[in-house]
Amino acid sequence: MTIQKIIGENGPQQKMCSGGACPAAIVGSDGNVYVQGYLPTSEAERALKAPSGEGFVSIPLETAKKIAAQVSEL
């Protein structure tokens, strides 16, 4: 897989976390979108239950909205 595009809070980025715009969504050549975010707190981990092979990251809601708008434009 190669990275096709990195999208952050302030739009497309050349590199990961360029200009402090993390978390980010990474569009891969495999057709998937990968989300970079913060690891959940211990309290959140206890409440969240992911199936085997899956996990969670945390991103602020406003950042998620901005990233979602950019992903829908792809």
pTM here is: 0.77
pLDDT tens string 6-27: 888 888 887 877 666 688 898 9
Residues facing 28 on adjacent strands: 3
Domain range for 32: 3-71
List C-alpha distances in Å: 18 to 29, 34, 37: 21, 17, 14
Say whether pLDDT at 39 is over 90. Answer: yes
Map tokens 């057709």 to a residue: 31
Least confident piece of the model among 9-13, 22-26, 38-42, 44-48: 9-13
Label residue 7 exposed, middle or buried (CB < 10 Å: 0-12, 13-18, 19+). buried
Total of domains in the chain: 1
Three-class secondary structure of residue 51 per DSSP:
coil
